[in-house]
C-alpha cells in the first residue's frame, strides 16, 4: 500500500540512492582485472559462467542482423524508424558549431567542437532488452559525427542476441556489435582485448554490475552517467484523473523493485483516489510483484498546502521524470528548477518520452538532475580551444602576464613571456 504523507513529513523520507554493495564492488573489480590481464580468454570464461554461452566469436555478423530484421517484421521496423526520425529531429537542434573571435589587433581566439572517435554503447538483452534506449544512445552519437559506434549486448544461452536490439542497431547506424554483457563488456570496451577495440566513452544503462563497472573505469574512458533506480514524480490537483495519475506512476514501478513513484498534490481527495487506483491497477499488471514491491518501498503520495509548495518539493527531490498534470501546464514550467525531463499536461505520459517523442530517455536519476542533464549530442563531442597572438599583441599584454605568473610564484612561466617581450622591445 502506498503511503500518504503531509508536506512536512516528506523530509523524513528519501528513496535509496544508487550505491553499489561491497560485494558488487569487489566482484566488478575482479572482473575488470581479469579482463585487463587475460583479454578474450577472460571474456570467454566469464560469458560462459554468467550467460551460459560460449560463442565461437563475440562479433555479430551481418547475416545475424538481417535475420533479426526479418524476425521483428516490417511493422515493428517501421515503428522504430518513425521513433528514430523523431529522435533525430529533436537532437539535430543540439548540434553546435565552434566559434572564432578577434577581441583586439593581432589576437585570434576560438573553440573547435570535435566528435569523439569511438564510442561504446551498452544495451541489456533478454527480457530487459530495450531497443528504444539503443536508438536514444546511438542517434545523438551519429549526429555528433562519431567515427565508430560499437554496441555491446549480452547473448542468450544459445548465443543469439535480441532481435529487436539488432534491428534497432541497424536503424541507428551502429558500426560493430559484440555479444558481451555485464561488467566484462564494460571492461573490454574500456581497455580493449585482442578482438574488442577500446573506446573513448561508454554510454548506456545496465544492472548494478554494469553501473559499478562504469564507475570503476571512469577516467580511463568517459561515461554518460551512473544510472540509479528509475523514478517519476507527478504534480497534480483535483482536476486530474486519478486513474491516469496512478497509471503513470505504475509505469515506472514495473521497471524494478527499487523504482520510485511519487505524487505531490494539494488535494487530499485526489491523494486517496490515486491510492485506491494504484491498488486496483496493480492487480492487473503482468509484473505485479515487481511493481507492488516498488510501491511498498518507494511509493509516496505527498499532500502539500499549495501548488507552489508542491513544486518546491519536486525541486528538492530532483526527479528523473516530472509530470505536470495540471491545466495550463506551461504556466508552471518556470517553477521547475531540477528535473531530468518534464512532461506537460494530461495527454503527455512519461511513456511517450521513453519511446517516441524525441527527447532522450537516458536521464539523470537519484536526484542528480540537480547538476546533470539528459544524454545529448554534447555527450559525444569534445571542445578544443585555440589562441593566436602576434608579437605586437603579446608585447601589449606581456607585462600583465609576467606579473600574474610572478604573483603565483611560477618564475618559468614569467620567463617564457618576458623573453619574448624583451626581444620585441629590442632589449636582447
Q: Where are the alpha helices (DSSP H) in 52-161?
A: 62-92, 131-144
Query: CB within 8 A of 155, min separation 6: which ones?
Result: 47, 51, 53, 55, 125, 161, 179, 180, 181
How many C-alpha atoms does 212 have within 13 Å on its Cβ side? 20
Q: Is the Cα dihedral 41, 47, 52, 58 positive or negative? A: negative
- Say whether pLDDT at 209 is over 60: yes
Q: Can you give the pLDDT at residue 16? A: 52
Per the model's pLDDT, the better-predicted residue between 10 and 197 turns out to be: 197
| Chain segment 57-93, per-residue pLDDT in tens | 999 999 999 999 999 999 999 999 999 999 999 999 9
User: Do the first three CATH levels of 3-14+229-358 and 23-223 match, i.e. the same topology?
Assistant: yes
Q: At 150, which helix (H) or strand (E)? A: strand 148-153
Residues designated catalytic: 320-321
In the chain, what percentage of residues exceed pLDDT 90?
Answer: 89
Measured between alpha carbons, how far is residue 223 from residues 22, 213, 326 in Å?
22, 10, 36
CA dihedral 124, 127, 133, 138 (to 10 degrees): 50
Q: Can you give the pLDDT at residue 173? A: 96
23-223: what fold? Rossmann fold (3.40.50)
Q: Where are the alpha helices (DSSP H) in 145-267?
A: 163-172, 182-191, 208-217, 242-253
- Cell representation of residue 34: 581479469
CATH superfamily of domain region 3-14+229-358: Nitrogenase molybdenum iron protein domain (3.40.50.1980)
pTM above 0.75, yes or no: yes
Domain layout of the chain by residue ranges:
3-14+229-358, 23-223, 390-424
| Chain segment 337-363, per-residue pLDDT in tens | 999 999 999 999 999 999 999 999 999
Q: Can you give the pLDDT at residue 8? A: 76
Where does the pLDDT of residue 380 fall: very low under 50, low under 70, confident under 90, or very high at 90 and above?
A: very high
Distance separating alpha carbons of residues 24 and 30, to the nearest angstrom: 10
Distance separating alpha carbons of residues 97 and 273, to the nearest angstrom: 50
- Say whether pLDDT at 17 is over 90: no
Average pLDDT over residues 90-116: 97
Amino acid at each position: 500500500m502506498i503511503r500518504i504523507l503531509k508536506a512536512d513529513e516528506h523530509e523524513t523520507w528519501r528513496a535509496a540512492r544508487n550505491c553499489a554493495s561491497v560485494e558488487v564492488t569487489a566482484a566488478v573489480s575482479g572482473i575488470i582485472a581479469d579482463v585487463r590481464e587475460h583479454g578474450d580468454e577472460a571474456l570467454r570464461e566469464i560469458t560462459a559462467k554468467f550467460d551460459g554461452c560460449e560463442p565461437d566469436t563475440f562479433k555479430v555478423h551481418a547475416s545475424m542482423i538481417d535475420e533479426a530484421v526479418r524476425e521483428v517484421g516490417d511493422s515493428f521496423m517501421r515503428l522504430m524508424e518513425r521513433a528514430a526520425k523523431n529522435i533525430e529531429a529533436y537532437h539535430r537542434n543540439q548540434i553546435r558549431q565552434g566559434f572564432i573571435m578577434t577581441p583586439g589587433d593581432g589576437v585570434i581566439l576560438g573553440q573547435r567542437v570535435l566528435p569523439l572517435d569511438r564510442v561504446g554503447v551498452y544495451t541489456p538483452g533478454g527480457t530487459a532488452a530495450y531497443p528504444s534506449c539503443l536508438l536514444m544512445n546511438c542517434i545523438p552519437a551519429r549526429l555528433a559525427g562519431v567515427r565508430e559506434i560499437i554496441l555491446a549486448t549480452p547473448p542468450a544461452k544459445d548465443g543469439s542476441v535480441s532481435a529487436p536490439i539488432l534491428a534497432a542497431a541497424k536503424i541507428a547506424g551502429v558500426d560493430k556489435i559484440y555479444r558481451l554483457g555485464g561488467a566484462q563488456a564494460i571492461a573490454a570496451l574500456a581497455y580493449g582485448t585482442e578482438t574488442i577495440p577500446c573506446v573513448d566513452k561508454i554510454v548506456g544503462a545496465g544492472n548494478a554490475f554494469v553501473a559499478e563497472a562504469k564507475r570503476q573505469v571512469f577516467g580511463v574512458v568517459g561515461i554518460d552517467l551512473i544510472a540509479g533506480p528509475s523514478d517519476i514524480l507527478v504534480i497534480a490537483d483535483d482536476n486530474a484523473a486519478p486513474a491516469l495519475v496512478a497509471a503513470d506512476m505504475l509505469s515506472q514501478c514495473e521497471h524494478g523493485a527499487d523504482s520510485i513513484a511519487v505524487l505531490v498534490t494539494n488535494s487530499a481527495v485526489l491523494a486517496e483516489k490515486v491510492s485506491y487506483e494504484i491498488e486496483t491497477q496493480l492487480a492487473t499488471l503482468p509484473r505485479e510483484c515487481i511493481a507492488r514491491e516498488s510501491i511498498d518501498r518507494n511509493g509516496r503520495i505527498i499532500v502539500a498546502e499549495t501548488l507552489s509548495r508542491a513544486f518546491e518539493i519536486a525541486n528538492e527531490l530532483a526527479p528523473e521524470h516530472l509530470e505536470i498534470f495540471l491545466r495550463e501546464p506551461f504556466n508552471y514550467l518556470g517553477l521547475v528548477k531540477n528535473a531530468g525531463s518534464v512532461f506537460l499536461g494530461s495527454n503527455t505520459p512519461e511513456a511517450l518520452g521513453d519511446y517516441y517523442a524525441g527527447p532522450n530517455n537516458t536521464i539523470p536519476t537519484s536526484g542528480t538532475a540537480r547538476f546533470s542533464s539528459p544524454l545529448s549530442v554534447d555527450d559525444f563531442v569534445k571542445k578544443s580551444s585555440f589562441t593566436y597572438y602576434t608579437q605586437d599583441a603579446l608585447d601589449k599584454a606581456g607585462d600583465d602576464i609576467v606579473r600574474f605568473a610572478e604573483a603565483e610564484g611560477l618564475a618559468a612561466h614569467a620567463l617564457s613571456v618576458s623573453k619574448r617581450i624583451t626581444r620585441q622591445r629590442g632589449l636582447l
